[in-house]
């Protein structure tokens, strides 16, 4: 899962530092606002990873140039940048893409159909000049003027992609002063440029999970990789008002079969294991409830994370495939 690369990059930032801006959405609207720009049948329907960098700047966790002094919340910075998250520190020099100055980012899809969208903090002319200097050629993508480094899904062998250690992530790029979209092929990039006729918010399942997550600063929403009793999962970190706040994670499960309700509420408890430890060692409490959206009922677990535990605990559980085991009655 692409979240693994994001998590590793975030850990790198927290431990070692890894050597005309669009305004942010009103708090609580960020995830749904971004989902409204993604095509309903695009890569985000299968998997999306979201992060609100503007909020971390507001709290002083990061600045426009890089990490701040707060190491606890820094472990949650970088969501939404996909495979680029591991290169955040060197992107400005190579590409003029300044991730820490961005407002929001979302990565979507599963290989080979993947793309990222970065909003705010962009100098489109400077980025295009850098990419063109590395050999990018003009290409029309989704009706917009874009740039290409290689044919769709083919490995890019330019000096830039080699220096960054990227394979196909910058194959196709469209950048304006409000958003940059890049990906492995034209189709996923076009789907992240403009929702067109319908967006992810028009998919009842995604709208329900977004409503369940509520006001979050990070989120991962994904469909099971194999047929299961769950239609859609969502996890997020509730937006902290200040750095002294206790971290609160939200876990949302949209059942496909009725048995999921009993499985999730009985298994996702403090006695459950996460990373080889009982959740009781990582969380103070877990509260279960239900969120209704139209005809859909989403099961939600609100996790109050211990101060010494990882603030993005639920995201870690996703990348270790622990959430499926605790929610799906058919999971091993």
pLDDT at 4 over 90: no
Query: Mind listing the pLDDT tens digit for each residue in 18-54?
Result: 433 333 333 447 999 999 999 999 999 999 999 999 9
Residue 165: predicted pLDDT: 83
Pair (156, 86) in one structural domain:
yes
Residue 25: predicted pLDDT: 37
pLDDT at 157 over 90: no
Pair (265, 184) in one structural domain:
no
Number of domains the chain is built from: 2
Last residue in a domain, options 169, 193, 217: 193
Query: Mind listing the pLDDT tens digit for each residue in 27-37?
Result: 447 999 999 99
> Can you name the residues that pair with 115 across neighbouring β-strands?
108, 183
Looking at the domain assignment, is residue 332 inside a domain? no
Pair (115, 257) in one structural domain:
no
pLDDT-derived band of residue 225, with 50, 70 and 90 as boundaries? Answer: confident
Last residue in a domain, options 193, 221, 255: 193
Pair (286, 239) in one structural domain:
yes
Pair (52, 158) in one structural domain:
yes
Pair (169, 52) in one structural domain:
yes
Q: What is the mean pLDDT of residues 175-181?
A: 93
| Cα dihedral 7, 213, 307, 279 in deg (nearest 10) | -80
Share of the chain above pLDDT 90, in %: 79
| CATH at 262 | 3.30.1360
pLDDT at 17 over 80: no
- 289-304 burial, b if ≥16 CB within 10 A, otherwise e? eebebeebebbbbbbe
Pair (181, 50) in one structural domain:
yes
Pair (185, 213) in one structural domain:
no
Looking at the domain assignment, is residue 218 inside a domain? yes
Residue 247: predicted pLDDT: 98
Looking at the domain assignment, is residue 142 inside a domain? yes
Confirm if 299 and 252 have CB atoms less than 8 A apart. yes
pLDDT at 1 over 70: no
Mean pLDDT (the chain) is 90
Task: Print the domain residue range for 215.
Answer: 203-327
Q: What is the mean pLDDT of residues 8-18?
A: 46
- 193-204 burial, b if ≥16 CB within 10 A, otherwise e? bbbeeebbbebe
pLDDT at 72 over 60: yes
For 165-216, the three-class secondary structure string (H helix, E strand, C coil) is CCCCCCCEEEECCCEEEEECCHHHHHHHHCCCCCEHHHCHHHHHHHHHHCCE
Residue 253 phi/psi, 5° resolution?
-130, 120
Pair (302, 171) in one structural domain:
no
């Amino acid at each position: 899962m692409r979240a693994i690369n994001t998590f590793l990059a975030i850990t790198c930032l927290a431990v070692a530092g890894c050597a005309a801006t669009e305004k942010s959405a009103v708090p609580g609207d960020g995830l749904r606002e971004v989902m409204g720009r993604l095509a309903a049948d695009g890569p985000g329907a299968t998997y999306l990873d979201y992060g609100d960098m503007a909020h971390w700047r507001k709290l002083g966790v990061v600045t426009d140039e890089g990490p701040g002094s707060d190491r606890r919340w820094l472990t949650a910075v970088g969501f939404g940048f996909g495979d680029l998250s591991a290169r955040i520190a060197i992107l400005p020099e190579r590409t003029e893409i300044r991730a820490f100055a961005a407002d929001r980012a979302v990565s979507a899809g599963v290989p080979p159909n993947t793309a990222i969208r970065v909003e705010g903090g962009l100098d489109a002319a400077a980025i295009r000049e850098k990419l063109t200097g590395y050999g990018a050629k003009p290409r029309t993508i989704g009706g917009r003027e874009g740039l290409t480094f290689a044919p769709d899904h083919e490995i890019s062998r330019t000096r830039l992609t080699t220096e960054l250690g990227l394979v196909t992530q910058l194959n196709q790029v469209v950048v304006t002063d409000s958003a940059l979209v890049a990906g492995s092929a034209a189709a996923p990039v076009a789907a992240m440029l403009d929702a067109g006729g319908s967006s992810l918010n028009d998919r009842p399942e995604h709208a329900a999970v977004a409503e369940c997550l509520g006001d979050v600063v990070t989120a991962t929403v994904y469909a099971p990789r194999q047929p299961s009793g769950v239609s859609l999962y969502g996890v997020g970190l509730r937006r902290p008002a200040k750095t002294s706040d206790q971290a609160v994670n939200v876990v949302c499960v949209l059942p496909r079969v009725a048995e999921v309700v009993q499985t999730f509420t009985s298994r996702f408890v403090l006695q459950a294991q996460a990373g080889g430890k009982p959740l009781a060692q990582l969380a103070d409490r877990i509260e279960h409830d239900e969120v209704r959206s139209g005809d859909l009922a989403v099961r939600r677990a609100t996790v109050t994370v211990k101060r010494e535990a990882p603030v993005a605990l639920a995201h870690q559980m996703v990348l270790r495939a622990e959430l499926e085991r605790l929610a799906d009655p058919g999971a091993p």
